[in-house]
Structure 1
Amino acid sequence: MGFEPWMLAVMDDAGFNGITDEHIRRVAGELQKIDRAYIDLQTFDRACYAAGIDPENFTQENLNELEDVLNGD
């Protein structure tokens, strides 16, 4: 079975082909709405799902970049 173009677009949007700066900005935006100093795993997962991104696709490097964005670096 091949993939239809829309299927590939949905997978890309969810981060299955790698997390991009756009994915990180979307999750950061969701986390900023929560306005908490400490972000636990459940909060992170909730923000990812709200942004339409599978949290399992984040690597440690992606998480470090997300932290930088949230800290304004």
Structure 2
Amino acid sequence: MDVAILSEAVATIGFPAAVCFALMWSNRETVKHYERVLLEFKHTLDKNTEAMSNNTVAMSILSNRIDLTQRS
């Protein structure tokens, strides 16, 4: 938010109302930022879940191969 716009708002509607609007704007921008961060975090969790699933399959295959070699 530009200082000139804030100064004009204070002069026009008064300090308490201008601060209220400035805080509402700041809160809205913060929520938008958190939504982007949470979406990025969700994508990261999805990738990690997929990687863990792949690792589980690989460990199962390796375990079966080890069992087969130990039996021979």
Q: Compare relative contact order (CA 8 Å, sep 6+) and give the higher one, 1 or 2.
A: 1
TM-score tier, shorter chain, comes to under 0.3
- What TM-score do you get using the length of structure 1 for normalisation? 0.26
- What TM-score do you get using the length of structure 2 for normalisation? 0.26
Larger radius of gyration: 2
